[in-house]
Amino acid sequence: MQGLMQDWPLLVSKIMEHCGRYYGDQQVVTRSIEGPMHRITYREVEFRAKRVAKALLAHGIKQGDRVGTLAWNTWRHLEAWYGIAGMGAVYHTINPRLFPSQIAYIANHAEDRILFTDLTFVPLLEKLAGELKTIERYVILTDAGHMPKTTLKGAIAYEDFIAAADADYVWPRLDENTACGLCYTSGTTGNPKGVLYSHRSNVLHALAVNAGDGLGLKNSDVILPIVPMFHANAWSIAFSALQVGASLVMPGMRLDGASVFELLETEKVTFSAAVPTVWLMLLQHLEQTGAKLSTLKRVAIGGSACPQAIIEKFERNYGVEVMHAWGMTELSPIGTLAMMKPEMAAWPYEELLKVKLKQGRPMFTVEMKITDDAGRELPRDGKAFGRLKVRGPAIASGYLKGEGGNVLDADGFFDTGDVATIDPDGFMQITDRAKDVIKSGGEWISSIEIENIAVGHPAVAEAAVIGVAHPKWDERPLLICVLKKGMAATREEILTYLDGKIAKWWMPDDVVFLDEIPHTATGKIQKMELREKFKSYRLPSAAA
Ligand code: AMP
């Protein structure tokens, strides 16, 4: 027997429509690429998104066509995104931090027909244009007054592009499984692979993430998504915020500590989300200036493991609650959130901190297990660690054009490539990327755990641990540190600091200091590059 409920497709245009109608007066504030602050209401954002849709139709864009965006978080990017997806085309967010050759590869692979881009990237695109085979025209996210002289094909200012269209448009009723968005994973090996979101997966993910114990966004929130829209849907904020009509503060291109602080205060931001490196810059700014945070209540931190020092500083020094989250592009992207259990409210802070350091529990829609290499499920005892696998309606079933082959196991679970434990309460903790685990004497050492503790040292700004070849143990950990500006520390001081905080056999065999640690396009430490750099490094213990 079938249920007797209406067939109401889960479309992202429904989010835009609901937001425009019921939260029409709420604002999207942007630090514009041209310079000044810019303010617009959601009502106008929807009008303009409809004009984007009509302008795309006028250009000949059809349902299923890919339209690229190479852009920072701004109101124009948001309008373009809803306009593209709403009319049935596929928004393809491109990460500008990728190597130019990778940008060309993915734009060609996706067969983008139009590219919306910021003024910032015009010079880069002019150099690349010869390699971008499928792009028919470039829409520069600015107005005629700021339009640069450019050789880009069919270049037009965004404001002129949409001025030719009116907003007399009804969002089409699409099948909810229609492709909606495309985001390539910045894999460290091989070519990037395309994750193709559907309308249904985006809407379900936004609903799931927005539950009370999850991001729990509200109409009264003012949200600063520092995490870029090109990093997996800005962790769903581009959908979740509009679903509840929360105001947005779009940071544009300036993400340093002082710029973020200024936005938090002047726009009275209550919630924000970013990777740990961004928060480190903000916290360093606060420490240097002695400034306080007056309106910020909560932050979501993910993308890499959140060090204990960040959680403690936010919560103890600034009264800002930290929500540690884990996810990946293939998961739309959030998989787990460090949602506390009710009985934990009475726990001493030190105990609570141990739980907050874990990546958290899956929200509804995500199933999770850990297995050994043979695919056998491992116990959820908080000790056994194995390959982390997930299943759910907002998790990739494969990559665009079949790249990477079959990515699901026999039960339909996707292998995340992460190694993790799951405790009896369901809290998952990432111990490593499978390829970064340090294998010492047949046992595994978690590089993430050592890094987390090392950045708690007052002089350490950033830390990375890699495995270095060892004649007796196969591999032993090498700790690489970047010191805070004006601070000093020796190898011995760092090792003494770690002593007692980790198992003896996990102690790094050596500590080296670098001015800078290389990062990937999504802000993660480039372990491959570090391993390459220290490939011939001779540990003192190896001489024995
Ligand atoms: P991306 O697809 O660029 O978002 O990268 C996803 C990967 O980032 C995951 O597979 C993890 O290895 C890592 N990651 C994301 N969030 C966390 C976290 N909270 N702790 C540790 N690793 C994380």
Q: What is the pLDDT of residues 362-385, one digit of tens each?
A: 999 999 999 998 999 999 999 998
Give bridge partners of residue 362 from the DSSP assignment: 336
pLDDT at 441: 84
Which amino acid type is present at position 97? R
pLDDT at 434: 83
CA of 329 to the centre of ligand 1 (A): 9
The predicted model gives 28-37 an average pLDDT of: 98
**Mean per-residue pLDDT over the chain, rounded:** 95
Flag whether pLDDT at 544 surpasses 90.
no
- List, for residues 177-202, the tens digit of each pLDDT value: 999 999 999 765 678 999 999 999 99
CA of 327 to the centre of ligand 1 (A): 5
Ligand 1 close to Cβ of residue 468 (< 6 A): no
pLDDT at 188: 56
Tell me the pTM: 0.92
Contact status, residue 146 vs residue 34, Cβ threshold 8 Å: yes
Here the tokens at position 203 are: 């809407």
Q: Could you give the strand order of the β-sheet that contains 367-371, starting from the edge strand earlier in sequence?
A: 367-371, 386-391, 414-422, 428-433
pLDDT at 449: 87
Q: Which of 193, 308, 524, 525 to mutate to test the pocket of ligand 1 (most atoms within 8 A of CB)?
A: 524
CA of 510 to the centre of ligand 1 (A): 26
Please give the sequence-ordered ranges of beta strands (E in DSSP) within 376-427, or none if there are none: 386-391, 414-422
Geometric angle at alpha carbon 48, from 47 and 51, rounded to 5°: 95
Ligand 1 close to Cβ of residue 447 (< 6 A): no
- List, for residues 245-271, the tens digit of each pLDDT value: 999 999 999 999 999 999 999 999 999
Q: Which atom of ligand 1 is nearest to the CA of 185?
A: 2
pLDDT at 189: 60
| Least confident among 30-44, 74-88, 93-107 | 93-107
The Cα 342–Cα 227 span in angstroms is 29
- List, for residues 390-432, the tens digit of each pLDDT value: 999 999 999 999 998 999 999 999 999 999 999 999 999 999 8
Ligand 1 close to Cβ of residue 416 (< 6 A): yes
Pairing outcome for strands 474-483 and 510-513: parallel
The Cα 454–Cα 57 span in angstroms is 54
The predicted model gives 295-307 an average pLDDT of: 95
- List, for residues 454-506, the tens digit of each pLDDT value: 999 999 999 999 999 998 888 999 999 999 989 999 999 999 999 999 889 99
CA of 482 to the centre of ligand 1 (A): 21
Domains and CATH numbers, the chain: 12-31+41-198 (3.40.50.12780), 365-433 (2.30.38.10), 438-542 (3.30.300.30)
SS3 content of the chain, % helix, strand, coil (to 5): 35, 25, 40
Catalytic sites, residue numbers: 185, 330, 439, 444
